[in-house]
Each structure stands twice: as C-alpha cells, then as structure tokens.
Amino acid sequence: MSRPLDVELAPAKLNLALHVRGKRTDGYHDLETLFAFVRDGDVLSVASADGLLLSIDGSMAAGLSDTGDNLVLRAARLLAGKAGVKPKAHLRLTKNLPVASGIGGGSADAAAAFRLLNRYWSIGWPLEKLAALAGQLGADVPACVYSRPLLGSGRGESLSPVALPELADTAVLLVNPMVAVPTGPVFAAWDGVDRGSLGGDLSLAGLRHARNDLQPGAARLFPVITEVLELLSGCEGVRLVRMSGSGATCFALFESKQTQAAGTMQLKRLRPEWWFLDTVLNHNRKPDSLPVS
C-alpha cells in the first residue's frame, strides 16, 4: 500500500549512545551520538485551508501548545518562506509521544512537517536540503528529517548514515516515568569530563561499552530515572538498557519479541502510571511502509 500524500509519521528518536566531548563557546556541547528511530511515533496530517492552522489531539496533547511557537508551525513557516510558497495548510498533529522526553518529540514533529509540506506544497526538495534548513529549529531536527540510523557530531547536526544490520527490527521498549525533563539544565548538569570518543564499533557489544554521558546528571536531577533503568535492567532477555537524549525516557533492546512482551507486561503492572511504547527499531526509513492512522 502506498502512503497517502497527506499523512506523515514522526517516529520517536533514540540515542543508542551519546558521548559529550566538550562545551562550546556558543552555549551548546559537542557530541558524538548514534541516532536510531523506531517504527512508531506522532502522526501529522494535512488538509486544505486558507491560512496556516494547527490542531492537536492524541493522548499526549495536553502538554503542548498549538500557538505560533509550536515547532510544527515554525517549520511550516520556515519552509514556506525559503521555498517562496504561500503557507496554506491545516495541519493536524496526533501527539502520542510524551513532551520533553528525550525521544525527539517536537523535533520529530517539525521534521515530519518539513517532509509532509515538501510534498503537499509540491516543493520537491531532497531530504538533504530540508535537513540543512531544519538545523535552525533545533540540534536534533536534521536527524529526524532522515529518521534512519545516523552518526551525529557537532551539536548533533553533522550527520553520516550508518548501517546497523545486527539491530534491524530489534524489539525495543521505551519507558517514561511521566516527568518532563528540560534539555538545557541536563546538559548543564554534565560534569565536564570528556570520557572519550564513541569510536567506530557499532555492534551490540561495542554499544554496550558506549555511554549516554547525560544520564548521570539527568538521574541526579530526576532520581526516578535510576528506578526506570533498574526496572528495565531486571527484565529477562534484555541486551542493552540506556537513557535516550536528555531523558527521562529510557529504552531496553530485547533479544526477542516474546521477552519484550513479558517485560512490558511486568513493568506496566508495577508502574501503571508510567508511559510505555513497545515497538521495533527501524533499520532504514521505508516511506511506503510507514503506518498511517
């Protein structure tokens, strides 16, 4: 089935590893990170309108504003301005991912807006050109434009595609303890120690030796993150447990769908108030197979 013109998925982003290498003079930090994306996320659709409108629904809609500062609207206005088209569209965002949670969220939504409106307004730019523009909206937005495994450096916007054949279609569980974590303070809580490069070994064994250098600072600010990591680590069949981005969402890669399902059930029973997403890692972005709602 081919994807309708007017719907775009905004898949959740994971940082399988995130090494902070130093503080820059522009207030940002230099990183080395491995981005990966999962099959599920927010959903953005578009219908005709005389102006530019955004409506938001979905289970996580309450945490979000639909006014002009929403990243989706900022992306729409930026693209229209650069491409010289009139920004006419009624965008509808179904917000399934928690806000301020280290898995893309707003960045993935903005990136989906770029891809969707690039088609809807018949702009026809390649992803590379969209990604170059996307950097103006946030360090993670260019990676979310591609929504495929990437190594990121600089602020996270300098990207090269990688293959992760060992991890293709790996069952993954995302858990958020429902605390909104602001990105800036978590970066500020980094202890300033450069613990070394991510290196080139992107095998599962290599990734187990890698780190998320934002994890200790985030867990100091929000101790519940430690509980999430411990509960995930205690599940049977877990191959890698880590926090994503600046948190608070943590993820576990499982050896099989069966152990993932058992772990999900067990944790949901223990912490019914937390947010869970059992999904799979997307090896490559396959536009024609993205689920639509």
Cβ proximity to ligand C5P, 23 vs 271, nearer residue: 23
Contact flag: residue 184 with ligand C5P (CB under 6 A):
yes
Specify the amino acid at residue 184: G
Helix ranges restricted to H, the chain: 71-83, 106-120, 127-134, 141-146, 183-188, 204-209, 215-221, 224-233, 257-270
Q: Single out the residue of 92, 95, 155, 242 in contact with ligand C5P (rule: CB under 6 A).
A: 155
Answer for which of 41, 102, 156, 177 binds ligand C5P (CB under 6 A) is: 156
Interface with ligand C5P by CB under 6 A: which range of 21-29, 75-83, 226-234, 257-265? 21-29
Q: Which of 143, 173, 150 is nearest to 240 (CA)?
A: 173
H helix or E strand, kind and range, residue 35: strand 29-47
Cα dihedral 106, 108, 113, 116 in deg (nearest 10): -160
13 an active-site residue?
A: yes
Given 109, 140, 213, 278, the catalytic residue: 140
What DSSP element (H or E) covers 176?
strand 171-176
Q: How far is the CB of 156 from ligand C5P (least distance, A)?
A: 5
Nearer to ligand C5P, 64 or 252 (CB): 64
Interface region with ligand C5P, contact rule CB under 6 A, candidates 22-30, 118-126, 236-244, 266-274: 22-30
User: Shortest approach of ligand C5P to residue 12 CB, angstroms?
Assistant: 15
109 binds ligand C5P (CB under 6 A): no
221 lies in the binding site for ligand C5P (CB under 6 A): no
Angle, in degrees to the nearest 10, between helices 127-134 and 106-120: 140
Backbone angles phi, psi at 64, to 5 degrees: -130, 145
Among 183, 224, 227, 266, binds ligand C5P (CB under 6 A): 183
**Are 243 and 225 contacting, i.e. CB atoms less than 8 angstroms apart?**
yes
Q: Which of 13, 40, 42, 278 is catalytic?
A: 13
User: Strand pairing partners for 67?
Assistant: none
Q: Give the shortest CB-138-to-ligand C5P separation in angstroms.
A: 4
Site string for ligand C5P, 113-152 (x = CB under 6 A): -------------------------xxx------------
Say how far apart CA 5 and CA 8 lie, in whole Å.
8
Q: Residue 30, exposed/middle/buried by CB under 10 A (0-12, 13-18, 19+)?
A: middle
**Binding of ligand C5P by 187 (CB under 6 A):** yes
Active site annotation includes 140: yes
Q: What's the closest the beta carbon of residue 58 comes to ligand C5P, in angstroms? A: 22
Q: In the structure encoding, which two tokens stand for residue 78, read together? A: 């930026």
Q: Does 31 bind ligand C5P (CB under 6 A)?
A: yes
- Per CB under 6 A, does 19 bind ligand C5P? no
**Residue 99: Cβ-neighbour burial (10 angstroms; 0-12, 13-18, 19+):** middle
Supply the minimum distance, in Å, between the C-beta of residue 227 and ligand C5P: 24
Residues near ligand C5P (CB under 6 A) are: 27-29, 31, 138-140, 155-156, 183-184, 187
Q: Active-site residue numbers?
A: 13, 140
